[in-house]
Amino acid sequence: MNSESSKPTSRPDLIEIIMNRGLRVTGPRRLIVEHLNSKDTGFTADEIRSGLPAVSRATVFRTLKLLLDADVICRVATVNGVPRYALSRGEHHHHTVCIRCDKVGEFKASMIERLLDTLNPEIPGQIVGHNIEFHIICSDCINV
């Protein structure tokens, strides 16, 4: 038994994730990462600020940018235009976001990468990255 699907579902060691991305672990970084880990819907920047009153607004925004640049977290576009921040697994992936409950999911779908390769000739330049979000009604919400 060595299948991908038998990966443990336990939460990753958050401190280790920060360090593995080459960042020093500071109080605000740890607080924000732990906060993001507490719900699978991700958070808007405002929700992070109100959830962490001890961290200043400027520090929240600076830390979010830093964690984004280091691939510790993802910024997910939503239908209402307010991005949500969620923990990242680090490897390249795409997102689903539920339009009803805001739950953020990750998926890979390597077919998307092949599809984008075939689009390359249509694009006036070289594709160097992409973000893909599917706006869904998740399986929990669809049955309500």
Nearer of residues 64 and 98 to Zn ion, judged by Cβ:
98
Q: In which element (H, E) is residue 105 found?
A: strand 104-107
Those residues with Cβ within 8 angstroms of residue 53's Cβ, 6 or more apart along the chain or in another chain? none
Handedness of CA 126, 131, 135, 138 (dihedral sign): positive
| Nearest distance from C-beta of residue 105 to Zn ion, angstroms | 9
Residue with smaller CB distance to Zn ion, 62 or 100: 100
Half-sphere exposure of 68 (CA within 13 A, CB side): 13
Q: For residues 47 and 50, give the distance between their C-alpha atoms in angstroms, rounded to a whole number.
A: 5
Phi, psi of 119 (to 5 degrees): -80, -15
Smallest distance from Zn ion to CB 3, Å: 22
138 part of the interface to Zn ion, by CB under 5 A: yes
CB-nearer residue toward Zn ion: 57 or 135: 135
Instruction: Map residues 84-123 to x or -, x wherever contact with Zn ion holds by CB under 5 A.
Output: ----x---------x-xx-x--x-----x-----------
Q: Is the dihedral of CA 104, 107, 112, 114 positive or negative?
A: positive
Total of residues contacting Zn ion (CB under 5 A): 10
Q: Hey, what amino acid is at 27?
A: G
Under rule CB under 5 A, residue 59 binds Zn ion: no
Name which position in 48, 52, 64, 74 contacts Zn ion (CB under 5 A). 74
Q: Using the minimum distance from each CB to Zn ion, give the nearer residue, 57 or 99.
A: 99
Query: Which stretches of the chain bind Zn ion, using CB under 5 A?
Result: 74, 88, 98, 100-101, 103, 106, 112, 138, 141
